[in-house]
């Protein structure tokens, strides 16, 4: 496994692989890898000849006051996991290499980034699209795999790629969960034992709404309320948002007459967790 | 010469050339080609194996009330000129293919786009960087040639390419002028005979400032005033801006103690013309 930390070296490696006609698969991460990340890598591996994983805690996608400084990091452990999956190259640049002095260029997707996390985390998606665009220019992948847990992020990346005609195939991977249902996240490490238990309420809230849909409920307000009631059972849970929106455009919907995404964000203790489920009429 | 009007076809052609190890040179234009454009193409040709020229009057780089609708177009004549230079492919997409319904992604360079044309033409550079980024993803060039007449545009593109790690070599080409000194521009066609004569004052103003530098003048205000006085000789000339700024950062400068760009924009009749010269102490 090659460990690369400069832009020029990564581009050189990508150019060489492309000249050899090899298909490059890419999984961008912020490190502190869990099984969810590894599934994305296995997915990339099954579709490409070479897999590149980036590890970069991207400062521009943290809103003011968020957990950039204390975001969990463990590069040594990450490297072990990457080797175990058979990743071909790790791109792990320094912040100063990605954002050198005088940096002033940003990529912005406008509409699909407005609600949900976009409304709650100012600048977050601008940071995400900027760094992903830059990583695409560096790693030059044919395909890239993103988790569906960050549903709005996945839609945003898809939109950016289509709008800017980036020649990269974007693959969404289903949410990977712990055996008890908790969506895997690097931020789960923030949870105390008691919080870890209450964090289950997110997936349970989604299951409850899903059950109601199966039983014939189609009113968005009723589905959202049901999910909220489940979340409110947790004494340490503070809802950030709970909304049902069009699964393609993220526009508001009153009735589940087409696929909708039930998107949840909640603080459990200090950890801000998100989860979602696509509900179909 | 191949004429291509879809994104997919252009990407396919670019991918094929790249697989064959050919170097792709690119000159983006808005058409209505003049000798200045042709020089950019000859420059690209001398440095690459295949030359692609795009012809696309990009609506997003025209500010509200500007001349998008009446911008001169003559595709047939353009094709003749492109053939005469030996261009390999022309990419001429429709507006609806570049900006389909639901389009919502923009690339923005912040600081270097603020003064000069950026201050006078709201949204102009956002339109330029967005379309150039998209064209780079479509044409996949190894190098691209831009004219130095659009000096701020060239700096902005350079900044975007560096910031987003686009693997494209940006080449600036010296301003190509008519024998009497007028910088070539598609918009020169707007000039009446009398206006055409007064349009010469732009290059004469630059020459006057240059002469003063040679004579030892280093005060920015004095150099700018001298240029303004020349422009004010024209009864049909209305100055939009005349400024001396740092040639690299476009920040204000009081003293020419490092390279500065003397940038002029003026309406001559209805035509808004720009010209510039880099002055060195």
Q: From A156, which residue of chain B is nearest by alpha-carbon distance?
A: B105
- Does residue A281 belong to any structural domain of this protein? no
Among the residues of A34-87, which ranges form H helices?
35-47, 75-85
Q: Do both B245 and B168 map to the same domain?
A: no
Q: Do both A203 and A74 map to the same domain?
A: no
CB of B165 less than 8 A from some CB of A: yes
Domain boundary among B173, B204, B220: B173
Question: B134 vs A164: CB contact, 8 Å cut-off?
Answer: yes
Q: From B160, which residue of chain A is nearest by alpha-carbon distance?
A: A105
CB of B90 less than 8 A from some CB of A: no
- DSSP per-residue letters across chain B: -EEE--HHHHHHHHHHHHHTTPPEEEEEE-SS--HHHHHHHHHHHHH-SEEEEEE---GGGSPTTSSTTTS---HHHHHHHHHHHT-SEEE---HHHHS-TT--EEEEE-STTSSTHHHHSTTHHHHHHHHHHHHHHHH--SEEEEETTSHHHHHHHHHHHHHTT---EEEEEPPPB-TTSPBP-GGGGG--HHHHHHHHHHHHHHHHHHHHHHTT--BHHHHHHHHHHHHTT-TTEEEEEEEEEETTT--B-SB-SS-EEEEEEEEETTEEEEEEEEE--
Burial of B259-274, coded b for 16+ CB within 10 Å and e otherwise, reads ebbbbbbbebbebbbb
Q: Do both B131 and B42 map to the same domain?
A: yes
Domain count, chain A: 2
pTM over 0.90: yes
Domain boundary among B173, B207, B227: B173
Domain that holds residue B132: 2-173
pLDDT of residue B197: 97
The answer to whether the CB of B269 falls within 8 A of the CB of B191 is: yes
CB of A132 less than 8 A from some CB of B: no
Give how far A181 is from chain B: nearest CA, Å: 35
Domain boundary among A173, A207, A240: A173
Query: pLDDT (tens digit, 9 = 90+) per residue, A111-129?
Result: 999 999 999 999 999 999 9
Q: For A138, which of B21, B108, B165 is closest by C-beta distance?
A: B165
- Does residue A92 belong to any structural domain of this protein? yes
Give how far B133 is from chain A: nearest CA, Å: 7
Q: Do both A206 and A142 map to the same domain?
A: no
Q: For A159, which of B21, B105, B140 is closest by C-beta distance?
A: B105
User: A244's torsion region: left (phi>0), alpha (psi -120 to 50) or beta?
Assistant: beta
- Does residue A64 belong to any structural domain of this protein? yes
Contacts A11 to B, Cβ<8 Å: 165, 167
pLDDT of residue A136: 98
Residue with tokens 């950039």: A68
d(CA A64, CA A35): 29
Query: pLDDT (tens digit, 9 = 90+) per residue, A1-23?
Result: 999 999 999 999 999 999 999 99
Give how far B195 is from chain A: nearest CA, Å: 38
- Does residue A180 belong to any structural domain of this protein? no
Question: B110 vs A106: CB contact, 8 Å cut-off?
Answer: yes
Contacts B142 to A, Cβ<8 Å: none
d(CA B251, CA B264): 15
Q: Classify residue A266 as exposed, middle or buried by CB count within 10 Å of its CB (0-12, 13-18, 19+).
A: buried
pLDDT of residue B94: 97
- The percent of residues above 70 in pLDDT, for chain A, comes to 100
Residues 6+ apart with CB under 8 A from A126: A60, A61, A106, A107, A108, A113
Q: Do both B80 and B216 map to the same domain?
A: no
The answer to whether the CB of B14 falls within 8 A of the CB of B139 is: yes
pLDDT of residue B28: 98
Which of A118, A102, A121, A120 lies closest to A110, judged by CA? A118
- Does residue A179 belong to any structural domain of this protein? no
Low-confidence ranges of chain B (pLDDT < 70): none
pLDDT of residue A220: 98
Per DSSP, the three-state class of A263 is strand
Question: Mean per-residue pLDDT for A138-163?
Answer: 98
CB of B152 less than 8 A from some CB of A: no
The answer to whether the CB of B240 falls within 8 A of the CB of B275 is: no
pLDDT of residue B75: 96
């Amino acid at each position: 496994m090659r460990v690369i930390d400069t832009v020029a070296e990564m581009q050189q490696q990508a150019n060489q692989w492309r000249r050899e006609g090899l298909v490059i698969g890419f999984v961008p991460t912020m490190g502190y890898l869990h099984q969810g990340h590894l599934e994305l890598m296995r997915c990339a591996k099954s579709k490409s000849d070479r897999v590149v994983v980036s590890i970069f805690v991207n400062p521009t996608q943290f809103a003011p006051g968020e957990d950039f400084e204390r975001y969990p990091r463990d590069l040594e452990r990450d490297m072990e996991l990457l080797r175990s999956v058979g990743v071909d190259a790790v791109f792990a640049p320094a912040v100063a290499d990605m954002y050198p002095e005088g940096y002033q260029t940003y990529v912005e997707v406008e509409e699909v980034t407005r609600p949900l996390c976009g409304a709650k985390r100012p600048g977050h998606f601008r940071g995400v699209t900027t760094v992903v665009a830059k990583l695409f220019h560096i790693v030059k992948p044919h395909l890239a795999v993103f988790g569906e847990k960050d549903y709005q992020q996945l839609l945003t990346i898809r939109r950016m790629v289509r709008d800017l005609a980036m020649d990269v195939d974007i693959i969404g991977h289903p949410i990977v969960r712990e055996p008890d249902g908790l969506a895997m996240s690097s931020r789960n490490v923030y949870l105390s034992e008691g919080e870890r238990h209450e964090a289950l309420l997110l997936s349970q809230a989604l299951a409850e709404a899903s059950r109601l849909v199966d039983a014939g409920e189609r009113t968005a307000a009723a589905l959202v309320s049901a999910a909220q009631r489940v979340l409110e059972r947790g004494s340490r849970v503070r809802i950030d948002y709970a909304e049902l929106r069009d699964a393609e455009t993220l526009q508001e919907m009153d009735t589940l007459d087409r696929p909708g995404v039930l998107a949840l964000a909640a603080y459990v203790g200090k950890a801000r967790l998100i989860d979602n489920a696509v509900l179909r009429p």
